[in-house]
Amino acid sequence: MNRRRIVASTVLTVLVAATLAPGARADEVELIRNGTFDAGTAPWWWTGNAPATVVDGRLCAEVPGGTTNPWDAIIGQNDLPLQAGESYEFSFDASASAPVGVLAKVQLQVEPWTERLSRPTVLGPEPQHFSYVFTSDVDSPVEQVAFQIGGSAQPWTLCLDNVSLTGGAPPPVYVPDTGPRVRVNQVGYLAHGPKNATVVTTATDPVAWRLADGGGTVVAEGMSSPRGVDAASGQNVHTIDFSGVTAAGTGYTLTADGETSYPFAIGDVYAALRSDALQFFYIQRSGIPIDGALVGQQYARAAGHVGVAPNRGDTDVPCQPTVCDYRLDVRGGWYDAGDHGKYVVNGGIATYQLLSTYERTLTAPTANPGALGDGTLRVPERGNGVPDVLDEARWELDFLLRMQVPAGQPLAGMAHHKVHDDNWTGLPLAPAADPMLRELHPPSTAATLNLAATAAQCARLFLPYDAAFADRCLTAARTAYAAAQANPDRLASEADGNGGGTYSDNNVSDEFYWAAAELFVTTGEARYLTDLRASPHHTGNVFGPNGFNWPDTAALGRLDLATVPNGLPADERQRVRDSVVAAADAYLETLRGQAYGLPLPANGYFWGATSNNINNTVVLATAFDLTGDAWYRDGALQGMDYIFGRNALNHSFVTGWGTKASHNQHSRMYGHQIDPNLPNPPAGSLAGGPNTGLQDPFAADLLEGCVGQFCYVDDIQSWSTNEVAINWNSALAWIASFLADQGDGTPQPAATCDVSYLRHGQWPNGFVAQVNLKNTGTRPIDGWTLAWSFTDGQKLGQAWAADVTQTGPTVTATNLRWNRRIEPGRSVTFGFTGTSPLANPAPELFRLNGLPC
């Protein structure tokens, strides 16, 4: 994620000084000299590449095409005095020969060019009037107004008039548009799931509510439940429960206390979210042209960072000075967030969650086994016989593998922490247009363990589809884990943040646990079991109230040990599973205490907290997968209500999902707010969300003093509340797949069966298995098909007493003529030989005629 400050050097053609007399008030004077250009061009200045003249009483500049950053071409005026605490109005008339975006700024006129005001401003052929108000936080005689007009591919003409900067303006007061006071999930609710809303009101007694369908007919009524003042928003609120309504439909509205909610649907409302959340990753890819035929022509672009000018990477990237003396080809992967950096630790958790999204289809009773198969997503690899989500994850895995220090070099086997530009670039900027030098940053223990963990996952999941790639992953995982053990305290520097985020992490014990767990699940080897048992995270609480994230990854190992078949003894495995359920119980308790119904505490609004909330819902969803207890599923659904609009701002944080949704997220690629020729983020893009830290100057100025859920603004300049990031969208992708699998919420029936799976013999890379299928119902089973998935790359050999076939990891056994009928209480048995180069755990989920046993 981004930490950036805009800097520039300019060629000034005209400079005129001005001062404010001691004791004078700022509102006594117009600070701009010659803002109407009646006296020519002085004292205005411009960069040498944008010469300006007065034409018909306006200052017009010929702006060159082919520049990279907004500050590559500027028109401005210097030596403007500001007073601390004074409010100013900056206004002007402007037009452009073609639709284009510029940045209108008031800032310090020398380094570090500290901004007092920065507003993206979209211009068109007709003159428009613009006015912005800000309050100065400094006394300074050396401020400037600056129109940053670079960054366009094509040349264009800018014309300005009536430029004014005056003091005495009413102080700016930001009041967010929160719409109706009845807050709902603007996407909707499952027909057979919880349905809750929150009402902002001054009332202390219950208020009446009514629910109307799309035709306006009232279908339910009731009274609200007062909740008092919500600590996460500072609002007095009530809650409404209308879960009893199950009729599917669109256009439902909820009315209470004289206000009517945004419309929403009831039914199977999340079917398309899985695909939308995952398409984000394809559009974020580095090193490949983005095909508009797959995702919309507005997102089509040239491949970024493939060594084609003006790019200076990523096919042959040097290290930072003194870090190493070799160069690496680190093409591919995903651009991390709003910048063009690629980071192993954030790529690690994002890759894990995509792989886990797929692995859940092999292990969870309510998962749709084919939902993420080949041809289900918008990726160019569709049709290659590999599940599309694995194709997407492989794009990042290949990059992670390329970041490993080569054999024979110092720190061989470790992973470089990150690769990015050697300085910050401006917004917007297409990846193929980035001219900055790319650099490899020092290897870190955290990055190395992220590589070890995700490569171990890769080894077991890709084995049915590409044995050579799986073997490459396993070799890299073993090598990385050993290198991390030899270098356990190589931590990323907190100061290494020029041109990219630091992603520093001073505690890597959680990464060691996660990597050991993944290697044990994949290989079953005792050395990894010994290491994970020695970790304090194996018995400690790894599910904190604020959720797991890239610096806190122990929960990832715990979740896989709980859900993926592995060699832990039964009692130890049950303890691991119980810990997940206990964490889910704690999140349910938190959810019940929040008036907006989310499993995040009132003090849990920080950078990227929307994803942390979703990760807590992932734990709730996993508890449902483990137990089948519906209250965990319901908790996960309620946690997502917050994401889609049941919050203090009445705002959905997912682009394209909800009446009022984020669409101006901070990104160099999705810069529509700055440049009308560029798109907004694609549907399914998750914004970081409310963040009381307000680390960026735009949010810090606009939202000072905000409470919890109000600490958010949908503006491209707010990188601390409104960025996109791969690890946030990976959380959304995981839960989106879970939600889609629930359909309209109708409980899935179970088959009346019991299955035992026994290995009678095992030798290097081979085994014999016997499967016993018992009818536990009261009626005969007349014709049966039993299906399961191997989770560790096992392959079927010869079978007997059933017709047994395998496609990818999925095995299907069908009765023969003589054993098709199974009477109540009776069993059939069949067997097969197989091969397995890895741990070969027994499958745990069996489906009889499509239903889980």
Phi and psi at 768, nearest 5°, equal -120, 135
Structure tokens of 178?
A: 């929160």
Q: Are strands 264-267 and 188-190 parallel, antiparallel or unpaired?
A: parallel
Quote the DSSP letter at residue 122: E
Quote the DSSP letter at residue 71: G
Q: Which helix (H) or strand (E) segment is 55 a member of?
A: strand 52-55
Q: Which helix (H) or strand (E) segment is 449 a member of?
A: helix 445-462
Give me the residues paired with residue 552 across strands: 549
Phi and psi at 179, nearest 5°, equal 65, -155
Q: Which of 696, 723, 741, 792 is catalytic?
A: 723
Instruction: Tell which residue, 180, 169, 166, has the closest CA to residue 106.
Output: 166
Question: Taking a C-beta distance cutoff of 8 angstroms, is the pair 646, 187 a contact?
Answer: no
- Measured CA to CA in angstroms, residue 499 lies from 320, 416, 431 at distances of 12, 16, 14
Structure tokens of 32?
A: 């701009």
Q: Which of 86, 339, 439, 625 is catalytic?
A: 339
d(CA 299, CA 220): 43
Q: Which of 276, 374, 388, 714 is catalytic?
A: 714
Q: Which of 518, 666, 701, 715 is catalytic?
A: 666
Phi and psi at 464, nearest 5°, equal -70, -15
d(CA 210, CA 247): 15
What strand order describes the sheet that includes 827-835?
Answer: 753-763, 766-775, 827-835, 795-800
- Which residue has tokens 């309504």? 245
The CB density around residue 69, as the number of other CB atoms within 10 Å, is: 22
> Would you call 579 exposed, middle or buried from its count of C-beta atoms within 10 A (0-12, 13-18, 19+)?
buried
Alpha-carbon dihedral of residues 66, 71, 72, 75, nearest 10 degrees? 110
Catalytic, 666? Answer yes
CA quadruple 197, 202, 207, 211: dihedral positive or negative? negative
What angle, 0 to 180 degrees and rounded to 10, lies between the N-to-C axes of helices 467-486 and 388-402?
40
- Measured CA to CA in angstroms, residue 852 lies from 564, 769, 789 at distances of 16, 20, 12
141 contact partners, CB below 8 Å, separation of at least 6: 19, 20, 79, 81
Question: Taking a C-beta distance cutoff of 8 angstroms, is the pair 81, 138 a contact?
Answer: no
d(CA 123, CA 325): 48
Q: How many helices (H) and strands (E) does the chain have?
A: 14, 38
Question: Taking a C-beta distance cutoff of 8 angstroms, is the pair 791, 840 a contact?
Answer: no
d(CA 624, CA 588): 12
Question: Taking a C-beta distance cutoff of 8 angstroms, is the pair 661, 651 a contact?
Answer: yes
The CB density around residue 824, as the number of other CB atoms within 10 Å, is: 13
d(CA 593, CA 227): 9
Catalytic, 192? Answer no
Instruction: Tell which residue, 36, 46, 145, 162, has the closest CA to residue 88.
Output: 145
Catalytic, 496? Answer no
Which residues are catalytically annotated? Answer: 339, 666, 714, 723
